[in-house]
């Protein structure tokens, strides 16, 4: 049992938490960072399944706060794999001497506001107690794995893994019969990684997604030099672009091209890197069903061309959503893997999952397919999952999970009324585009807010209910601006019983930046600053 006092207590050693620790320390606050994991990296610590890798360009994911860091760290590939990403975060905490303020292997079980003192008491699973002026919950949007309740999970005699809790000790799947459930971004990365290694791989797919090639490649020396030289320009673009990517912006409507020109353009996009298919497509591609449909038909053609067994190809083609209705996955050799005789696809739309038996996976047609290993690539309790589990109690004992029982209520996706001195950059209602970029904006806002409070002798900062209401209403009312469907996890639709509410920021990063900049410049008028009350 310890009782440590600190200005800023950060929860979560992922991309946002490490940034927050760096910035809090830079501004002269004492700070500590707790994480349940034994290492840093957050999502890049836990998701160590084979072939887990970025699908944002590596250099657009890393930190921009130090030119020296930018110049000395060379990403080896356009889309770095998990081991390299984890090494990067370790390098950052060592380089900036942040490790001394890390407390790893600590699971936060509660964070309770003491109204009389204006401080927080944070307790861990092992009973350690920390007191702080501020709590910054940098707990991430994709950090609480979702594993559906399927009968028989306790009778299955083989081994089960979730992609998001992949063991740190190497898992040897050679010669194993593997059942993989789920074909989102994690599933499509795993399939080709396993196909040549395992004895057999059965992929259980419920909803097919529009998977397109990641087109990963090593970063050549000339490009490395260019990135270093152009640090200021790159930084500026990444700090201001709506998507948080370096991608060129779309420059024309589909109708400006003939059908033949569009086919050529689509072919070029197919060969482009990751999200460029989304971010550099035609201007009207996400909101004009005809254009979107044409691109989907193009991708469906690629699937039919690639997968030799046409029955399998047809099952892999999405029927119920266009491109961008759900977060698209990017793969390397995903469709090709289905040509490997050891890989088979089971469509759970045709034959739903019934149960795990002692020896394998049973589907509704009564077939049991034997498996030594079941891998759940079944996703996350997105946006609110981790915050709702943190045991947060604000003023008058208000429980955050109770306050958010009908969906999150936030200001700028980083604060809630009734929870003074509690911030959650990277939380629901902020998320839009390349994750570290908008989270970084929010970290800057939180840091400036704490500095402002200190400069004005205030020990308590709390967002007003009116400001929270205005932002929350905007998030819910503007949902139509986003292409994502209400049936996607961005609305909590994948979690049984979760309210279907907007969890992203459909107004985009630029709007969040505008509101944040104006609020900060005006002295944070939507916050009440003062003494404990
Ligand atoms: P996901 O996109 O939520 O996919 C989960 C999969 O599991 C879906 O195919 C889903 O089918 C299936 N599933 C869920 N419950 C099921 C059930 N009861 N029975 C059968 N199937 C079930 O999760 P994810 O693949 O982990 O990806 C989540 C997000 O993490 C991504 O969108 C991305 O933002 C991020 N990510 C990024 C990378 C990267 O490259 N940087 C890699 C992995 C993940 P339904 O769709 O039918 O529900």
Task: Determine, yes or no, domain membership for 63.
Answer: no
Task: Determine, yes or no, domain membership for 212.
Answer: yes
Mark whether 404 and 510 lie in a shared domain.
yes
Mark whether 337 and 482 lie in a shared domain.
no
In order, the DSSP letters of 247-262 are PPPP---GGGS-HHHH
Residue 3 binned pLDDT confidence (cut-offs 50, 70, 90): low
Residue 202 binned pLDDT confidence (cut-offs 50, 70, 90): very high
| Number of the ligand 1 atom closest to the C-alpha atom of 56 | 41
DSSP state of 380: B
Residue 44 CB contacts under 8 Å (≥ 6 apart), including other chains:
14, 15, 82, 85, 86, 89
Percent with pLDDT over 90 in the chain: 95
Query: What is the 311 CA–ligand 1 centroid distance (Å)?
Result: 23
Two tokens, residue 322: 């266009």
Residue 425 binned pLDDT confidence (cut-offs 50, 70, 90): very high
Mark whether 512 and 389 lie in a shared domain.
yes
d(CA 39, CA 18): 12
CB of 184 shorter than 6 A to ligand 1: yes
- pLDDT tens figures, 128-174: 999 999 999 999 999 999 999 999 999 999 999 999 999 988 889 99
Quick check: 1 pLDDT over 50?
Answer: no
Ranking 29-38, 236-245, 296-305, 477-486 by mean pLDDT, the lowest is: 477-486
Task: Determine, yes or no, domain membership for 152.
Answer: no
CB of 383 shorter than 6 A to ligand 1: no
Query: What is the 116 CA–ligand 1 centroid distance (Å)?
Result: 44
What angle, rounded to 10 degrees, do the helices at 435-455 and 508-521 form?
10
Task: Determine, yes or no, domain membership for 173.
Answer: no
CB of 431 shorter than 6 A to ligand 1: no
Q: Give the end of a domain, one of 361, 376, 391.
A: 376
What CATH number should be reported for the domain holding residue 445? Answer: 3.50.50.60
Residue-number span of the structural domain to which 442 is assigned: 5-36+105-144+382-525
| Percent helix / strand / coil, the chain, rounded to 5 | 35, 20, 45
Two tokens, residue 214: 């990641």
**In testing the pocket of ligand 1, which one of 55, 378, 496 has its CB within 8 Å of the most ligand atoms?**
378
Q: Give the end of a domain, one of 376, 400, 431.
A: 376
Burial of 291: CB neighbours in 10 Å, binned 0-12, 13-18, 19+: buried
Mark whether 196 and 243 lie in a shared domain.
yes
CB of 11 shorter than 6 A to ligand 1: no
Two tokens, residue 223: 């490009």
Handedness of CA 326, 439, 227, 84 (dihedral sign): negative
Mark whether 138 and 232 lie in a shared domain.
no
- pLDDT tens figures, 138-148: 999 999 999 99
**In testing the pocket of ligand 1, which one of 85, 494, 496 has its CB within 8 Å of the most ligand atoms?**
494
CB of 379 shorter than 6 A to ligand 1: yes
Quick check: 2 pLDDT over 80?
Answer: no
Task: Determine, yes or no, domain membership for 75.
Answer: no
d(CA 263, CA 17): 44
Mark whether 187 and 321 lie in a shared domain.
yes
Average pLDDT over residues 396-418: 98
Q: Give the end of a domain, one of 376, 392, 408.
A: 376
Task: Determine, yes or no, domain membership for 276.
Answer: yes
Mark whether 272 and 125 lie in a shared domain.
no
To which H or E segment does residue 68 belong?
helix 67-72
Q: What is the mean pLDDT of the chain?
A: 96
Quick check: 512 pLDDT over 60?
Answer: yes
- Report in angstroms the alpha-carbon separations of 132 from 25, 121, 211, 502: 14, 7, 45, 31
Quick check: 12 pLDDT over 70?
Answer: yes
Domains: count for the chain = 2
Label the pairing between strands 373-376 and 177-181. Answer: parallel
Measure the CA angle with vertex 213, ends 440 and 235; round to 5°. Answer: 25
Mark whether 273 and 372 lie in a shared domain.
yes
Closest listed residue to residue 161, CA positions, set 292, 48, 260, 244: 48
Q: Taking a C-beta distance cutoff of 8 angstroms, is the pair 432, 494 a contact?
A: no
CB of 148 shorter than 6 A to ligand 1: yes
CB of 494 shorter than 6 A to ligand 1: yes
**In testing the pocket of ligand 1, which one of 47, 186, 486, 495 has its CB within 8 Å of the most ligand atoms?**
186
Task: Determine, yes or no, domain membership for 94.
Answer: no
CB of 60 shorter than 6 A to ligand 1: no
Tell me what pLDDT residue 479 has.
77
Quick check: 96 pLDDT over 60?
Answer: yes
Task: Determine, yes or no, domain membership for 125.
Answer: yes
Quickly count: other Cβ atoms within 10 Å of residue 121's Cβ.
Answer: 18
Mark whether 386 and 352 lie in a shared domain.
no
Query: What is the 117 CA–ligand 1 centroid distance (Å)?
Result: 43
- pLDDT tens figures, 320-350: 999 999 999 999 999 999 999 999 999 999 9
Phi–psi pair at 386, nearest 5 degrees? -70, -40
CB of 378 shorter than 6 A to ligand 1: yes
Mark whether 334 and 225 lie in a shared domain.
yes
Mark whether 260 and 213 lie in a shared domain.
yes
Mark whether 261 and 387 lie in a shared domain.
no
Query: What is the 362 CA–ligand 1 centroid distance (Å)?
Result: 21
């Amino acid at each position: 049992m310890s009782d440590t006092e600190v200005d800023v207590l950060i929860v979560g050693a992922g991309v946002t938490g490490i940034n927050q620790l760096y910035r809090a320390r830079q501004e002269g606050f004492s700070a500590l960072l707790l994480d349940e994991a034994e290492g840093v990296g957050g999502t890049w610590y836990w998701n160590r399944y084979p072939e887990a890798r970025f699908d944002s360009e590596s250099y657009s994911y890393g930190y921009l706060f130090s030119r020296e860091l930018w110049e000395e760290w060379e990403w080896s590939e356009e889309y770095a794999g998990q081991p390299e990403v984890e090494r990067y975060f370790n390098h950052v905490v060592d380089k900036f001497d942040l490790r001394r303020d890390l407390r790893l292997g600590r699971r936060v079980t509660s964070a309770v506001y003491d109204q009389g003192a204006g401080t927080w008491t944070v307790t861990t699973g092992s009973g350690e107690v920390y007191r702080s002026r501020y709590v910054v919950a940098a707990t991430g949007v994709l950090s609480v794995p979702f594993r559906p309740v399927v009968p028989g999970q306790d009778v299955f005699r083989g081994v089960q893994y979730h992609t998001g809790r992949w063991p740190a000790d190497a898992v040897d799947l050679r010669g194993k019969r593997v059942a993989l459930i789920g074909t989102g971004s994690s599933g499509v990365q795993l399939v080709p990684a396993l196909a040549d290694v395992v004895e057999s791989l059965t992929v259980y797919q419920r909803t097919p997604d529009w998977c397109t090639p990641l087109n990963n490649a090593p970063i050549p020396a000339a490009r490395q030099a260019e990135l270093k030289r152009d640090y200021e320009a790159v930084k500026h673009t990444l700090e201001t672009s709506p998507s948080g990517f370096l991608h060129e912006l779309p420059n024309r409507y589909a109708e400006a091209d003939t059908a033949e020109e569009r086919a050529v353009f689509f072919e070029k996009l197919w060969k482009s890197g990751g999200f460029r298919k989304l971010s550099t497509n035609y201007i009207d591609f996400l909101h004009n069903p005809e254009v979107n449909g044409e691109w989907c038909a193009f991708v469906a053609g690629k699937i039919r061309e690639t997968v030799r067994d046409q029955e399998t190809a047809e099952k892999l083609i999405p029927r119920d959503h266009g491109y961008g209705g759900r977060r698209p996955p990017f793969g390397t050799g995903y469709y090709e893997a289905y040509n490997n005789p050891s890989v088979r696809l089971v469509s759970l739309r045709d034959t739903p999952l019934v149960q795990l038996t002692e020896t394998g996976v049973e589907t509704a047609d009564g077939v049991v397919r034997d498996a030594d290993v079941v891998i759940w690539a079944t996703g996350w309790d997105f946006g609110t999952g981790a915050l709702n589990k943190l045991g947060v109690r604000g003023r008058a004992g208000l429980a955050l999970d109770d306050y958010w029982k009908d969906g999150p209520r936030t200001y700028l996706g980083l604060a809630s009324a009734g929870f003074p001195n509690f911030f959650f950059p990277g939380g629901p209602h902020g998320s839009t585009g390349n994750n570290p970029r908008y989270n970084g904006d929010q970290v800057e806002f939180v840091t400036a807010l704490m500095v402002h409070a200190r400069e004005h002798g205030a020990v308590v900062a709390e967002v007003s209910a009116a400001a929270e209401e205005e932002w929350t209403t905007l998030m819910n009312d503007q949902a139509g601006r986003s292409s994502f469907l209400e049936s996607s996890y961005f609305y909590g639709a994948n979690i049984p019983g979760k309210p279907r509410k907007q969890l992203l920021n459909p107004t985009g990063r630029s709007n969040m930046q505008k509101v944040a900049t104006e609020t900060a410049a005006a002295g944070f008028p939507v916050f009440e600053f003062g003494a404990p009350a």
